[in-house]
Amino acid sequence: MNSAWAGDITYLPTREGWLYLATLIDLSSRRVVGWSLSSSLEETMTMRALEMALVTREIRYKTELLHHSDRGSQYASTAYQAALNSHGITPSMSRKGDCWDNAVAESFFASLKRELADFLDAVRSKRAPAVDGAQGRRALELATRITDRMASL
């Protein structure tokens, strides 16, 4: 664990517009160790995902960790690179137009979108377990907005 992370961003269409999801995945465990949602492709979204990953994996000091991402402006920004450097994390960026370098993150996003669509189909046909509490209702509302928007594309 904590030898290499892959970072990427995907879009989630909703009735209100796009939601963007930034994740950091530990390549050893294949677990999402940091994530953040935003309605815009702002740099702070990837910074929040990085901060979550550092807390989740209890990284406080310099470490020997490789951080792989695409060459998007959020990951290439001065602030993001400085945050990596301050923790001793080595950045690795894919070649321009080469999506194969980040296949783990792309695979995760495909699975997430497929499972979200399957869950909402089950909810609509009354096959899903009950969703209790305010947090569950908010998650269900978000999932419904995302899937409705994806179906309309």
Which residues, listed in sequence order, are joined to residue 5 by a DSSP beta bridge? Answer: 26, 67
Among 11, 57, 10, 9, which Cα is nearest to 33's? 57
pLDDT over 70 percentage in the chain: 68
What's the domain range around 10? 1-153
- The answer to whether residues 22 and 9 touch, using CB atoms and an 8 Å cutoff, is yes
Q: φ and ψ at 39, to 5 degrees?
A: -85, 0
Domain harbouring 147, CATH code: 3.30.420.10
Q: List, for residues 73-130, the tens digit of each pLDDT value.
A: 888 899 999 999 998 888 888 766 665 567 888 888 888 888 777 766 666 666 555 5
List, in order, residues 6 or more apart from 148 with CB less than 8 Å away.
14, 15
Helix (H) or strand (E) holding 34: strand 31-38
pTM for the whole structure = 0.73
* Total domains present in the chain: 1
